[in-house]
Structure 1
Amino acid sequence: MLKSTLEQWRMFKAVVDAGGFNQAAAVVHKSQSSVHHAVQKLEHAIGVELFENTGRKVQLSAQGELMYRRATFLLNEAQKLEAVATSLQAGTETLLRIAVDIIFPSDLLYNVLNKVSEEFPLLRIEIEETVLSGANSMLNSGNVDIAISPFTYPTGFSEDLCEIEFAAVAHPDHPLHALDRPLTLEDLKSHRQIVVRDSSAERKVDVGWLGADQRWTVSHIRTSVDIISQGLGFAWLPIAIIKKELEEGALLPLPLGNNGGLRKSLLYLSFEDGDGLGPAARSFIGELRYQTMNLPSAHGMLQPCGEPLC
């Protein structure tokens, strides 16, 4: 038989998170004496002192720090268990929330969403367009059910989804093209690079070559495309997104030698707990996996000076 209860562990965690018994009481909507009593009963039941006496300030003991980490895991698992039960009770979900990094091919995403909507006509779908660590940040905060991100999700499930190819590009009249020779990264340093800002509200990440002395940072890839289409800089952009501009000659790949003008980014499909996903979410994941299996390479679009870049 268990010596402690989930409610006692919840009170203990609340005291730690809030920074004291009075503060925790306000958070959990209980009296201070009730919270204090719950923690005292917990300590007596498990035979471990969770806090040290340091005047008025609440401070975890060494044993308490270990128990706090385990309690956090336990409470998170209990929440997931209830979420699974809710999903089973509700049957098909009515809302599916997805965070998608903006480098993911939009046409492919639309096709997947259309297939899911045909199967679940009453399903509402919310798409959050994110950059870099933004998708995982939203998944971690519980604001979405599924994330497509260039980073693995450390506390849940992640699998390789697809590779996205990037090219260093600029307007045909940009001074870098006027050099009329293979470029080096040193050549890029003296020219403006356009980069897209990480959409995460937490720790922000920079990805890609960032050696330019001057950078303009924008919030969306389309803004970057508009800027470099006017000859105001160069950028690393997903080839699938700038297909039209490449075909029309509005943008040209920079002739960096030895495929230096190409790089790849792996995208990951992530979610917290597969058991907590409903039928519509599972259908989305299945269709997404199927369609990304046949995602074509974009190398053929890169033909500066009449020759493929790679």
Structure 2
Amino acid sequence: MLRISLEQWRMFHAVVEYGGFNQASQGVHKSQSSIHNAVSKIEGSLGLKLFSIVGRKTTLTPAGELLLKRANYLLDEAKKLETIGVTLSQGVETKLKIAVDEIFPRAILYQVLEQVSSQYPLLQIELVESVLSGASELLAQGDVEIAISPTSLGIGFSENLCHITFSAVASPEHPLHQLERSLTLEDLKSYRQIVVRDSTQLKDNRASEGWLDANQRWTVSHIQTSIDMISRGLGFAWLPMNLIERKLASGQLKLLQLNENTQRSTQLYLTFTDGDRIGPAARSFLTALRAQCIKLAQPKKL
């Protein structure tokens, strides 16, 4: 049986927060005597002095300072417990699992996640990064509630989200740039292509997006690995413009001058299996994501 109640700890905290017993009385709308009694009961139960009063100034004793840290933690946890209870009673989910293809713009994703997290501070968000068919597979298996993927499922709800533009690039020192002429796809086949592996676990469903049957092929698991390799002159590839803008601006990467097919575009889909079952936090994520992607599609002002 606890000898000190949560309310007594709250009165102790109020005295510190407001700078004195009289100020705390006004701040928490309690009588000064009730606050004095609460603090006195803590001191009597523990055999410690929590405050020293010199003139009109109320200060913590060393023991009071130590207990204040623990009391703050206790009160914070009590608030969280109440918030969780309210959240559960309102039907708000406690976890949200999202699969996102690696080509989706990270700045938009982070902004949306922060917005949702601010609205639902106790929400645990699990982000699974995938490539090609991986996000749709995770959704089909029930491992995530929402998928952002270049493949659209035949089940559930799927909508066009945004287009991602890819450009053919290589390091400025790559031999392809030394040809000093417009390049053909046949020219590219003589050099190493870096390809990103489909993250699906089903071998029969794995795709090789953009594969040209080049004489030499390196396959990697992540877009960032491909970007790093190409920046070091180890090959060429079509890469998402939103992920390589800085490297193009800094001169670490250079667009290949192809006579055709210089750029490609991939459609990303927003998919979830059952709109009636997703919770308020998931709906908030969907709404914020759609709004940001509408802005993405709007032409930039010069």
> For the superposition of Structure 1 and Structure 2, which TM-score range results when normalised by the shorter chain?
0.5 to 0.7
Aligned ranges 1:215-294 → 2 under 5 Å = 215-258=217-260, 260-294=261-295
Match in the other structure for 1:109:
109
Deviation of 1:122 after TM superposition, in Å, equals 0.6
**CA distance in structure 1 between the aligned counterparts of 2:273 and 2:113, rounded to whole angstroms:** 20
Structure 2 counterparts to residues 3-152 of structure 1, below 5 A: 91-152=91-152
Q: Is the 8 A contact 1:239 1:298 kept in 2?
A: no
CA contact (8 A) 2:195 2:211 kept: no
Moved over 2 A (4+): 87-90, 296-300
Counterpart secondary structure, 1:168: strand
- Give the gaps of 5 or more residues in structure 2: 1-86
Q: Which residue of 2 aligns with 1:62?
A: none
Q: 2: distance between equivalents of 1:143 and 1:180?
A: 49
C-alpha displacement of 1:219: 0.5
Residues in 2 aligned to 1:256 and 1:165: alpha-carbon distance in whole angstroms: 16
Gaps of 5+ in 1: 1-86, 301-310
Counterpart AA for 1:102: E
2:206 alignment partner in structure 1: 204
2:186 and 2:206 map into 1 onto residues whose CA distance is: 26
Q: How many residues align?
A: 213
Q: 1:114 to 1:283 in 2, by over 3 A?
A: same
Offset of residue 299 of structure 1: 10
- For 2:183, the equivalent position in structure 1 comes to 183
Deviation string 1:102-136 (CA, Å, 9 cap, x unpaired) is: 00001110001011011111101000000000001
TM-score, normalising length: structure 1: 0.66
Q: Distance in 1 between matches of 2:119 and 2:175?
A: 51
Name the SS of the counterpart of 2:243 in structure 1.
coil
Larger radius of gyration: 2
CA gap 1:104/1:230 in 2 versus in 1, 3 angstroms: same
Partner residue, 1:169 = 169
Aligned residue in 2 for 1:11:
none
TM-score where L is the length of structure 2:
0.68
Distance 1:89 1:133, change over 3 A: farther
Change (3 A) 1:164 1:298: farther
Equivalent position amino acid for 1:253 in 2: L
SS in 2 for 1:288: helix
AA of the residue aligned to 1:227: M
Deviation at 1:154, TM superposition (A): 1.2
The 3-state SS of whatever aligns with 1:160 is strand
C-alpha distance after superposition, 1:236-260 (max 9, x if no partner): 10000011101101000100124x2
Are 2:194 and 2:218, in contact at CA under 8 Å, matched by a contact in 1? yes
Cα separation, partners in 2 of 1:205 and 1:88, compared to 1, 3 Å: farther
In 2: Cα distance, 1:133 partner to 1:173 partner: 33
Query: Which residue matches 1:3?
Result: none
